[in-house]
Structure 1
Amino acid sequence: MNTPSTSTAPPTDAISLRRALGTPSLVLLGLVYMVPLTIFTTYGIVTEITGGRLPVAYAVTLAAMLFTARSYGRMARAFPVAGSAYAYSRQAFGGPVGFLTGWTLMLDYLLLPMINYLVIGIYLNAAFPAVPGWVFALASIALVTALNLFGIVTVARTNYLIIGVQALFIVVFVVIACIALGSPGAADPLDPIVGDGSAPGLFPVLSGAAILCLSFLGFDAVSTFSEEAKDSRRVVPRAIMQTTIIAGVLFIGLAYLSYLVYPHSTFSDVDSASVEVMQHAGGAFLTAFFTAAYVAGALGSALTSQAAVSRIIYAMGRDGVLPRRVFGWLSPRWKSPVAGIVVTSVVALLALVLDLTTVSSLISFGALAAFSLVNLSVIKHYFIDQRERSGREVFGNLLVPGAGFLITVWLWTSLSPLALVVGIGWCVLGVIWLAFVTRGFRAPTPQFEGLH
């Protein structure tokens, strides 16, 4: 492979990403990426850990995530460009740190679509046992790749349909659950708050909150569409905060109602505890509807996450950190980063041979690294470089992002040894590639002048 150019000139291809997204579309992209029904993925696990206090754990998690979400919004306002944490940390700390941030972030983004394909295969194989799960996974990869190639407008329009299916399920679930709660012997409204006493104290709630932080992965994806947003300095920070708050309220509400419907903190199968809740609340109909809505949500998450990572790869290619002629090129017809989309699809083929447990144990490494660097970037850019230190600025530019950084550091303690080993190994590969690009660190890390 030829050494990527270190020139700061913009690509000869003058095509730019299409600015077509407003606040509602960006919020939908974030919500679809997060999957509103993702609460049911870890419902049984965290309900057991907290002794039935899942809504309380989600409230703690939402409060914690708002610190980092605010930092993303602050940096998106200062630097309204594609690249997310990669662009922010590069502007704050320089090219090498920016590159390594983007490199670790790619580990998260590249693996997230794969998890969705695995879930689709598992659920649809359970519904149609005659068809192997890998067939459904492969078909989903092909469909998502085609939709992304057609451009961001196609992605946004498809998301309306997918989020609509999930919204309809939520409405049906709420109605059925409320009817069930009207029956004799219904649970006490305080039960989801105080729990069943099987896991008393604050520590179980904090342990559950550490797991639930991964449910919020997706608000950061909104920032990757900054160059496709209308008035990005205004709408992107707003969309990031709205996405986080809306998702948090949905999670808390669904967790609260689910426990009222089925007030148990032990299950026959903790991984599929949501099926017990649905079966108890609405029988076979609600269980089937839940499966369909969950698969639709996984498809939407794969669609949005592939769009997000392809734009990170595009930003790095445009900067010359990756081969510019390949990764810094947009389709003249669809204005989409073709190479990044194709690479993501090829990586997603690993879903045909890997299992869900292995992939999910690796995904949080890159996200937490990005969260840490974005919080530090706010301090570096606003508090240190811009010297915004008077009055309330100390609170907003130092204390709030500092708290966000400490929270993400605390979350590192929940990572598995496998995730740490693979994540550190991925970072080492990144250092090796950066040494190659910069000819042994003798040349500067390539940058694109349009982002300065």
Structure 2
Amino acid sequence: MQTIDSREPTADNHQPTLKKVINTTQLWAIAVGLVISGEYFGWNYGWASSGTIGFLIATLLVTVMYITFIFSYTELTTSIPHAGGAFDYANRAFGQVGGFIAGFATLVDFLLAPPAIAYALGSYVNFLHPAIPVVPTAISMYVIFITINLFGIKESARFSLFVTILSVLELIIFIAVIFPFYKTENFIANNPPTITVDSVFAGIPFAIWFFVAIEGVAMVAEEVKEPRTTIPKAYISSIITLVILALGVMILSGGVGDWRTLSNIDYPLPETLSMALGKNNSLSKVFASLGLFGLIASFHCNTISYSRQIFALARAGYLPKFLSVVNKKYQTPHWALIAGGVVGAIAIFTGTTNKIIIMSGLGAVVMYAMSMLSLLALRKKEPQLDRPFIAPFYPYFPIIALVLSLVCMVAIVYYNQYLSVLFFGSLIVCLLGFVLKFGGKMAPKTIIK
């Protein structure tokens, strides 16, 4: 007999559940869609911190972390396919305190990625039509995509597939167009005379932006058909897709002209085309218009993920219970969608895209570390757990991912001390409040199944 947390969504305890409708292609689209805006903006701030060469090294380091992480994380997602993702894994491995830490980090990751994307959407629209202000456009994105997501995951998954395919095709066309204009001397020009550990570490938060949020697939695991085979196929194909696109976009963009002009703007790809083809070239404007698809894909998919994380935490009792209410007709967590939208709208008004990216990245690496610790712990604690997918090269892959996650966390903290104090201070305050609320009743109840 196996004891399980009574807060898990099973038929035995009548917890709110979600509809299983997502297939492999749709899950690949959600995984790529969650991340693909990272190829359109945000990463270029790393050039301002590290130069192109230092940032390339940071990107390769982060790429190794994500490859080893995804191959390890897939084992957890297929073994415990619940909407809480890392929260559920840590809760099972370390109890409620571990679950709380992982849940908090995941929530920061997925609540703060959408406002950064929404702000970039506003910036792209403003690039096309300067009379349209950035912030109202960004806020309108929340209204539109929360509404879309209220009508069911099946419809949302279809929309994700459509915009993600368009986004991938657009990036392939972008790479093909700028390739003839690439010059290595441009890429290496204007870099510091020596590449230091400091310069590499300073670029890590922005290198993470290339891939951050791919782990959001775990948050829709309850809604996947045949998760034992669907999740591994989607995860592995999506990380391959993203690595190729990220390195192609970043390296080629840096060699088109003076990369310093791209290092502090929210629309680097249209500007790269302008540098290659001329300021008045119509393709630059057309690309900026089409570029909205990549940002829309990520914003839409992150809206799905943040709502499922809020839903899962509320269902487990970590957040107010009403946030776990599921719409009877569409089986979507409508209050979780709206609550996350309110938080994101507040973040938009700060107007600090780079700082929001850093906070999201910090939440991500803390979650990655907790997830890899959970994987190592569950291998010992529950050796008989059904594992449809086994992490390859165990224990080396999860250990590499864990070490690199900690390295990235240290780098982010070192170069962003104020934001780190805000993150960890909030975590400690919330954790203390959680402990005081539950007192000595920290251990989850169990049932026999």
TM-score by length of 1: 0.84
Identify the residue that residue 443 of structure 1 maps to in structure 2: 441
CA contact (8 A) 1:81 1:227 kept: yes
Give the Cα separation in 1 of the matches to 2:254 and 2:262: 16
Give the Cα separation in 2 of the matches to 1:171 and 1:351: 32
SS at match of 2:210: helix
TM-score by length of 2: 0.85
Identify the residue that residue 61 of structure 1 maps to in structure 2: 62
> How far is 1:65 from its partner?
1.3
Identify the residue that residue 353 of structure 1 maps to in structure 2: 349
Q: 1:61 to 1:435 in 2, by over 3 A?
A: closer
**How do residues 280-299 of structure 1 correspond to structure 2 at under 5 angstroms?**
280-283=275-278, 284-299=281-296
1:64-116, Cα deviation, whole Å (9 max, x unpaired): 21121122111112212111100011111112211221022211211111112
Task: Choose which of 406, 410, 413 in structure 2 pairs with 1:413.
Answer: 410
Identify the residue that residue 362 of structure 1 maps to in structure 2: 359
Give the Cα separation in 2 of the matches to 1:427 and 1:195: 42
Give the Cα separation in 1 of the matches to 2:58 and 2:362: 21
Task: Choose which of 336, 341, 345 in structure 1 pairs with 2:337.
Answer: 341
Task: Choose which of 260, 264, 267 in structure 1 pairs with 2:261.
Answer: 267
> How far is 1:425 from its partner?
2.1
Amino acid corresponding to residue 176 of structure 1 in structure 2 = V
Q: 1:163 to 1:422 in 2, by over 3 A?
A: same
Instruction: In structure 1, list runs of 5 or more residues that go unmatched.
Output: 1-5
**How do residues 366-445 of structure 1 correspond to structure 2 at under 5 angstroms?**
366-383=363-380, 385-386=382-383, 396-415=393-412, 416-438=416-438, 441-444=439-442
Amino acid corresponding to residue 233 of structure 2 in structure 1 = R
Give the Cα separation in 2 of the matches to 1:87 and 1:353: 32
Task: Choose which of 183, 187, 200 in structure 2 pairs with 1:187.
Answer: 183
Amino acid corresponding to residue 219 of structure 2 in structure 1 = T
SS at match of 2:225: coil
Give the Cα separation in 1 of the matches to 2:178 and 2:9: 59
Q: Point out the more displaced range, 52-61 or 124-133.
A: 52-61
Whether 2:279 is the aligned partner of 1:278: answer no
Paired residues, what number?
431
Q: 1:448 to 1:242 in 2, by over 3 A?
A: farther
Q: 1:359 to 1:40 in 2, by over 3 A?
A: closer
CA contact (8 A) 2:71 2:236 kept: yes
Q: 1:105 to 1:364 in 2, by over 3 A?
A: same
Across the aligned residues of Structure 1 and Structure 2, the Cα RMSD in angstroms comes to 3.2
Amino acid corresponding to residue 267 of structure 1 in structure 2 = T
**How do residues 298-337 of structure 1 correspond to structure 2 at under 5 angstroms?**
298-324=295-321, 326-337=322-333
Q: 1:269 to 1:235 in 2, by over 3 A?
A: closer
SS at match of 1:335: coil
Task: Choose which of 229, 248, 257 in structure 2 pairs with 1:253.
Answer: 248
Identity of aligned residues (%): 19
Give the Cα separation in 2 of the matches to 1:395 and 1:384: 19
> How far is 1:36 from its partner?
5.1
Task: Choose which of 214, 220, 225 in structure 2 pairs with 1:225.
Answer: 220
> How far is 1:360 from its partner?
2.7
Identify the residue that residue 172 of structure 1 maps to in structure 2: 173
> How far is 1:17 from its partner?
1.1
